[in-house]
Amino acid sequence: MKTNVSQRLLALDVLRGITIAGMILVNNPGSWTSIYTPLEHAPWTGLTPTDLVFPFFMFIMGISTYISLRKYNFEFSHSAALKILKRTLVIFVIGLGIAWLSLSFRTFYSLYKENLSYGERFLRAITNFEHLRILGVMQRLALCYGATALIAILMKHKYIPVLVLSTLFAYFMLLLFGNGFEQSEHNIVSIIDKSILGVNHMYKDAGLAIDPEGLLSTIPSICHVLIGFWCGELLMSVKDNGERIQRLFLVGTVLTFSGLLLSYGCPISKKIWSPTFVLTTCGLASSFLALLIWIIDIKGYKTWCRFFESFGVNPLFIYVMGAVLTVLTGSFLFPYAGKLMSVKLYTYKYLLQPLLGNLPSSLAFALLFVGVNWAIGYVLYKKKIYIKI
């Protein structure tokens, strides 16, 4: 018996929206010392719900890349290559801009006690490029999108699974013989990132120069998006939603169990984007998407998902907006009670914490922050304004 037939899947927008809302939620607690365990990242190995948010978005980005490149018939052309490179550059520069904005605020206020004029502090703050973090979430998205899209128009798609598996195996061997699973700066991931990027341009994880969005670990991340692209082909090459679900569940089951079984020899770790992390999270994302298609596009239970759809139709714009608001609310200071206070600290410490306590108020601030971003996204959604980055 045939089920609903549709080329446009609302479930894709909803899952994309869930991941964007999730990323904003986990990135904006009221206090980093008061976080419920499911909203924390695994310290080095293992998985928490928070560790699924970013890889789920990358999986969906792979599917979206497949859909967007169909108009070029997946053939190389100067216009297609130029569009891919332009979008890659724009996303990368935006990520770099967010990092620069955050660093400028931190530098400006760190110079507060020095005998400098306002203009001198401002100039030193905005030119502190020697400590600018080069890579980050947006930069990783840019590099993974660009690589996936170019591979998609240069390589026959039947070879993509072979490319993914061989690359993940090569990365595993590099980790295995390069202390890659060790949480130390003797880790091959840290060594290569330090030699290319420089310590001052890297994120410090647990006080160590191990960047979770570093250069070397971007390689398996590209494989992550390629798996999403391949699943996009499986998904969009048929019109029957029932068959789509079967394909996604099959892929999801195989990938999830493969990742979990192989984790005994290759630990699951988001910090180094280990091969088993790629397999497990792609598998879970595929299964979750299948579930959403069944709930939303087949059964028609759509009322509950309007909240997430508002995020999903303008995902990168809302994420960037949320990141900028994070910087502004956490870095823009005003005098209060004889000291400088950020909007975030004032809201958490003086409004929410006295009413709710530490953990609940920290979560309440994160939910409030998500709500503010949703309100802006909802206005765009209702006005059918779609801002593509």
What digits encode the pLDDT tens for the residues 159-214?
999 999 999 999 999 999 999 999 998 999 999 999 999 999 999 877 788 999 99
Residues 226 and 354 in one domain: no
- Contact criterion met (CB below 8 Å) for 245 and 236: no
- Can you tell me the mean pLDDT for 318-331? 94
Domain boundary residue among 248, 278, 300? 300
Predicted pLDDT of residue 285? 98
pLDDT greater than 90 at residue 363: yes
Report the number of distinct structural domains present in the chain: 2
Q: Over the stretch 209-220, which tens digit does the pLDDT of each residue have?
A: 899 999 999 999
Predicted pLDDT of residue 198? 92
Residues 330 and 358 in one domain: yes
- Contact criterion met (CB below 8 Å) for 285 and 12: no
Q: Over the stretch 53-106, which tens digit does the pLDDT of each residue have?
A: 999 999 999 999 999 999 999 999 999 999 999 999 999 999 999 999 999 998
Q: Which residues pair with 342 in a beta bridge?
A: 333
Predicted pLDDT of residue 7? 52
Residues 74 and 100 in one domain: yes
For the CA atoms of 323, 319, 317, 97, what is the dihedral angle to 10 degrees?
40
Which tokens in the block code for residue 304? 């509950």
Q: How confident is the prediction for the chain on average, in pLDDT?
A: 93
Q: Is residue 175 part of a domain?
A: yes
Angle at 78 between CA 72 and CA 81, to 5 degrees: 70
Q: Which residue has the tokens 């499911």?
A: 38
Say whether 340 sits in a helix, a strand or coil. Answer: strand
How far apart CA 65 and CA 387 sit, in angstroms, is: 16
With residue 141 as reference, give the H or E element that holds it: helix 137-154
Q: Over the stretch 124-149, which tens digit does the pLDDT of each residue have?
A: 999 999 999 999 999 999 999 999 99
pLDDT greater than 50 at residue 3: no
- Contact criterion met (CB below 8 Å) for 372 and 364: no
How far apart CA 244 and CA 147 sit, in angstroms, is: 26
Residues 322 and 178 in one domain: no
How far apart CA 132 and CA 126 sit, in angstroms, is: 10
Q: Which residues pair with 333 in a beta bridge?
A: 342
pLDDT greater than 80 at residue 1: no
User: CB neighbours of 136 closer than 8 A, spacing ≥ 6?
Assistant: 95, 96, 98, 99, 203, 213
What backbone phi and psi angles, to 5 degrees, belong to 341? -135, 135
Give me Rg for the CA atoms of the chain.
22
Which tokens in the block code for residue 239? 């019109």
How far apart CA 156 and CA 173 sit, in angstroms, is: 26
User: CB neighbours of 17 closer than 8 A, spacing ≥ 6?
Assistant: 305, 307, 308, 309, 310, 311, 312, 313, 315
What backbone phi and psi angles, to 5 degrees, belong to 213? -115, 35
Q: Is residue 2 part of a domain?
A: no
Residues 240 and 284 in one domain: yes
Q: Is residue 69 part of a domain?
A: yes
Which domain does 351 fall in, by range?
11-40+304-389
User: CB neighbours of 93 closer than 8 A, spacing ≥ 6?
Assistant: none
What's the one-letter identity of residue 314?
N
Q: How far apart are the first and last CA of the chain?
A: 40
Residues 255 and 134 in one domain: yes
Q: Over the stretch 211-267, which tens digit does the pLDDT of each residue have?
A: 999 999 999 999 999 999 999 999 999 989 999 999 999 999 999 999 999 999 999
Residue 16, burial from CB neighbour count under 10 angstroms (0-12, 13-18, 19+) = buried
Q: Is residue 201 part of a domain?
A: yes
Q: Is residue 235 part of a domain?
A: yes
Residues 150 and 113 in one domain: yes
Residues 281 and 344 in one domain: no
Predicted pLDDT of residue 341? 87
Q: Is residue 4 part of a domain?
A: no
Residues 178 and 217 in one domain: yes
Domain boundary residue among 267, 300, 333? 300
Residues 20 and 150 in one domain: no
Residues 92 and 36 in one domain: no
Residues 337 and 295 in one domain: no
Q: Is residue 322 part of a domain?
A: yes
Q: State the pLDDT confidence band at 388, using cuts at 50, 70 and 90.
A: confident
Residue 54, burial from CB neighbour count under 10 angstroms (0-12, 13-18, 19+) = buried
- Contact criterion met (CB below 8 Å) for 292 and 309: no
CB atoms inside a 10 Å sphere around CB 233: 18
pLDDT greater than 50 at residue 2: no
Domain boundary residue among 300, 333, 349? 300
Q: Is residue 178 part of a domain?
A: yes
